Amino acid sequence: MKNFEKYTRQYFPVKTEGKWMQKDYIDKAPIWCSVDLRDGNQALINPMTLEEKLEFFKYLVKIGFKEIEIGFPAASETEYEFCRTLIEKDMIPDDVAIQVLTQSREHIIDKTFKALEGCKNAIVHLYNSTSVAQREQVFKKNKEEIIEIAVKGAKLCKEYREKSGAKECYHFEYSPESFTGTEMDFALEICNEVIKIWEPTADDKVIINLPVTVSHSMPHVYANQIEYMCDNLIDRENIVVSLHPHNDRGCAVADSEMGLLAGADRIEGTLFGNGERTGNVDIVTLGMNMFSQGVDPVLDFSNMPEMTSLYERVTGMHVYERQPYSGQLVFAAFSGSHQDAIAKGMKWREEKNCQYWTVPYLPIDPKDVGREYDGDVIRINSQSGKGGIGYILEQNFGIVMPQNMREPFGYYVKHVSDVKHRELQPNEVYELFKESFMNVTAPVEPVEAHYVQKDGIDASVTVKFEGQTSTGTAHGNGRLSAVSNALMKMLGIKYNLHTYTEHALEKGDSSNAVSYVGITDEKGNNFWGVGCDADIINSSMYALISAVNNMLKFQ
């Protein structure tokens, strides 16, 4: 691409011991803070109405968030009204803290505390920009002047909390906004100045939020920055180090996970990654990553369809089909080899009664997030294989095809999908199966059969063929072989019966039996038939006649 020379790195790396590199996984969930109603809402083309915000807030509480940033009350009357409605209608559970954003300006802080009057548990989130670009281009202030903005705001927040008469109800958070474009020694200095003013204790901890306001670096750089801050913040034992990653480089999840390894305690993010520009970190992905490795994310994502439906309705956004864990296609397997591996993995799990989930291609059990195997996992199109098609028939309709029958039927289903240029639904696959194999009555239509046991079996078989009803008799070592010999004699044909299996129908009408017959003509071509009947003897005869009919149609 042209013009790459006009770009350069805008971050400030820092050297640390890299303690985070010695950790292989996250062993517990962080403190989660949803910013869907503030950062997420302000990024919407059409911000949510009051009613939509209230509904979304209730849902965030339902799935387990204990800290929810609800807005910027001093920014607009809608934001102010939302805050007041939550408080006055007593909609905030005692164990949930609402969080509100404020700039370091007295009239804004004043209105913020007015909006919070009567709240039992609130976090006042103070911020000001600290990056080189913001200092030079936007505020045109030096470092000392930027520190003074933060110090002034911290003092005002403390004063207003004292005046509120409910000091125990308010906690503080500070963000050096644009942290990732700030020199690390300066970010540390300004945070420590705020901490000195707020004087955190074990019962009144201060949140220091270190946002990836704009993503500039690879995740390991951010991890080093977080480790540096964790190692050097004063009163660290009384500080909650929080992360707020944005996704400009597509690294928000990696930034968050590495930041947690580096010592962070808390994550601010949104459901499905909504937010400014490329969005905030997706808390669903983060939480489910933990879940997939046996760590309780604390949040309840067990009904993903419900959550995505509500989110899409109130935000007007769309959850991308390939969004991790939540997209419509994230568990879908169209590839034949993938389908075969999944089907075999599911069977292995059932047979071995496995403790841990290890099914190939599926990082988690789709049922754990409210998805189904039949419609969400094995999907049938022209790329599908015999294993997936067989799995669909077995799971949905109780049809357990013999292994050597699956390949020809699989090719037929793929051909139909290819011609139609679309995916086939499970019921369409089943209809193709029935039309192709089950109880086929042309050109030979079964009428009746009678059996006599005599050193084997004598069968008397009556069929309709080419407008005539005929009866033939033959001997065999079993009923099916006797019927087969009678058919060959009556119709003047020859074939070899090579496969016969049967089972009770496990789906639908459980009183029926299903039989499968495979035959080979004199040229070595294979043909299949399936019979379904309440009588297993009739079922096997229908399967044989179906296979013969398929052979006759081919000739």
Quick check: helix, strand or coil at residue 31? strand
Among candidates 358, 429, 353, which has minimal Cα distance to 397? Answer: 429
Cα 132 to Cα 429: distance, rounded to the nearest angstrom: 61
Average pLDDT over residues 346-357: 93
Structure tokens at 393: 């028939």
End-to-end CA distance of the chain: 62
Segment 70-102, tens digit of pLDDT: 999 999 899 999 999 999 999 999 999 999 999
pLDDT tens string 391-417: 889 888 999 999 899 999 988 998 999
Residue 462, burial from CB neighbour count under 10 angstroms (0-12, 13-18, 19+) = middle
pTM reported for the whole predicted model: 0.83
Flag whether pLDDT at 374 surpasses 70: no
Burial of 193 (0-12, 13-18, 19+ CB in 10 A): middle
CA 541 to chain centre: 47
Sign of CA dihedral 330, 333, 335, 340: positive
Q: Average of pLDDT values for 286-304?
A: 98
Q: Does domain 444-554 have CATH number 3.40.50.12780?
A: no
Residue 60 buriedness (CB in 10 A; 0-12 / 13-18 / 19+): buried
Cross-strand partners of 446: 463
Any idea which residue has 């505390």 for tokens?
113
Domain boundaries, the chain: 14-315, 336-435, 444-554
Instruction: Report pLDDT for 507.
Output: 62
Sheet containing strand 526-533, strands side by side: 496-504, 513-520, 526-533
> Cβ distance 375 to 426 under 8 Å?
yes
What is the CATH code for 14-315? 3.20.20.70
State residue 510's pLDDT score.
59
Q: Where are the alpha helices (DSSP H) in 100-199?
A: 106-115, 132-133, 143-164, 184-198
β pairing state of 457-465 and 496-504: unpaired
List CB contacts of 531: < 8 A, sequence separation 6 or more: 438, 439, 514, 515, 517, 538, 539, 540, 541, 542, 543, 544, 545, 546
156 and 174 in contact (C-beta within 8 Å)?
no
Beta pairing class for 513-520 and 526-533: antiparallel
The mean pLDDT of 219-228, rounded to a whole number, is 98
Q: Do 200 and 236 touch, CB atoms closer than 8 A? A: no
Cis status of the peptide bond prior to 443, with omega within 30 of 0: yes
Q: Tell me what the mean pLDDT of segment 194-219 comes to.
A: 97
For 234-281, write each residue's pLDDT tens digit. Answer: 999 999 999 999 999 999 999 999 999 999 999 999 999 999 999 999
Of 344, 324, 341, which Cα lies nearest the Cα of 333? 341
- Output 420 or 374, whichever has higher pLDDT: 420
| Cα–Cα distance, 119 to 90 (Å, whole number) | 9
Instruction: Please give the helix or strand (H or E) that residue 176 lies within, else none.
Output: strand 170-177
Contacts for 172 with CB less than 8 Å, ≥ 6 apart: 123, 124, 126, 154, 157, 158, 161, 198, 206, 207
Mean pLDDT of the chain: 94
Q: Are 297 and 291 in contact (CB under 8 A)?
A: yes
pLDDT of residue 338: 85
pLDDT band, very low/low/confident/very high, at 520 (cuts 50, 70, 90): very high
Q: What is the mean pLDDT of residues 184-210?
A: 98
The string of pLDDT tens digits covering residues 338-350 is 888 888 899 899 9
DSSP string, 243-300: EEEB-TTS-HHHHHHHHHHTT--EEEEBGGG-SSTT-B-BHHHHHHHHHTTT---SS-
Tell me what pLDDT residue 65 has: 98
